[in-house]
Amino acid sequence: MSVRGTLRALPTLLRVGVSEAVAYRAEMLVWVLGTTMPFISMALWTAVARYEPVGRYDSHEFVRYFLATFVVRQMTGAYAAWQINFEVRQGTLAMRLLRPISPLWSYAAENLGTFPLRLFLVVPLTLFSVSTLGTRSVPGTAWGWGFFLLALVGGWLITFLVNVFVGSLSLYIESSNRIMDLWFAFFLVCSGYLYPVELFPPVLRGLLDWLPFRYQIGLPVELMTNAHGFTEALGLLGRQWLWVALLLGLSILSWKRGLKRFAAYGG
């Protein structure tokens, strides 16, 4: 399908995604409740910092950080890998392939469709953070906002593209869910989701700058809480989008080559 055709179909796809999210709202609520880990981290770290600050983080700073983490996690979530795995195994991927538009677009639209619902949680929480902890809970400058939004988009793209890449591996092996679990474990440890990346020992911190995980959660959170100056933020954003480009190439390649092997068994 042509580029113009794809662009014309996108709004409809997104609308379908939103309706689907609304239809399964109970399920979504369970998913959201399952991402309460930032609050547990918050309880833990404020307890650690109660008597003396850790690095530049005192109790307040930790609360701010983990509220931002929750917000960013909501806005950068994707679950396409599980969808792809399921549909490859059930053979229902064939249905998607019959449509004149790449399934990748419809996965993206479905994953993005949950956004409006998530905003109902994200916006009040952000407002709460600003009202109790001050305006430093959101970017303070115009470029700060621009960078933050860019980092959110980048973070989502990395998450989604990794999902597509790992999901497409299920076209080569029976199921790639376990690989996704492995990725997820790395993600938890390295992304800044459980604790700010800064708190890592210095040796590892340099390594984290070059791995994709930090750019899924850590960078948007840091930009939301004004942790970096202009040049530093620009450098980190550059690395994030380098990962986006790399993963875009990798995931599309493996998806296209994998599809040639797809035989719709089980269907």
Partner 1 sequence: MFRRYMRLLRVRLRASSLLAMQYQADFLLDGLISVFWMASALVPLFVVFQNAQRQIEGWSFGESLLVIGWFTLLQGILEGAINPSLQGVVEHIRKGTLDFVLLKPADAQFLVSTENFLPWRALNLVAALIIFGYGFHLIGRAPSLPGVAISLVLLGTSVLLLYSLWILTVCAAFYVVKVDNLTYLFSSIFDAARWPASVFRGVLAFVFTFVIPLSVMTTFPAEALLGRLPWTALVWAILGSLLFAFFSRRMWLHSIGRYTSASS
Distances (CA, A) of 71 to 19, 120, 180, 217, 255: 22, 11, 22, 10, 30
CA distance 129 to 167: 36
- If one asks whether residue 75 binds partner 1 (CB under 8 A), the answer comes out as no
Question: Which residues sit opposite 54 in a β-bridge?
Answer: 57
User: Nearest-5° angle of CA 73, CA 116, CA 125?
Assistant: 50
Mask of contacts with partner 1, 201-220, x by CB under 8 A? x-------------------
Cα-Cα-Cα-Cα torsion 82, 88, 94, 95, nearest 10 degrees, comes to: -30
The contacts of residue 103 (CB under 8 Å, 6+ apart) are 93, 96, 97
Give 209's DSSP letter.
Answer: T
Task: Pick out residues in 36-55 that bind partner 1 (CB under 8 A).
Answer: 36-37, 39-40, 43-44, 47-48
The mark string for 10-39 relative to partner 1 (x by CB under 8 A, - otherwise) is: --------------x-xx--xx-xxxxx-x
CB of 151 to partner 1, least distance (A): 23
Binding positions for partner 1, 214-253, rule CB under 8 A = none
- Say if residues 85 and 175 touch (Cβ distance below 8 Å): yes
Window 155-174: contact mask with partner 1 (x via CB under 8 A): ------------------xx
Min CB(33)–partner 1 separation in Å:
6
Is residue 181 close enough to count as binding partner 1 by CB under 8 A? yes
Please pick, from the candidates 8, 25, 99, 178, the single residue that binds partner 1 as defined by CB under 8 A.
178
Residues near partner 1, by CB under 8 A? 24, 26-27, 30-31, 33-37, 39-40, 43-44, 47-48, 173-174, 178, 181-182, 185-186, 188-189, 194-195, 199-201
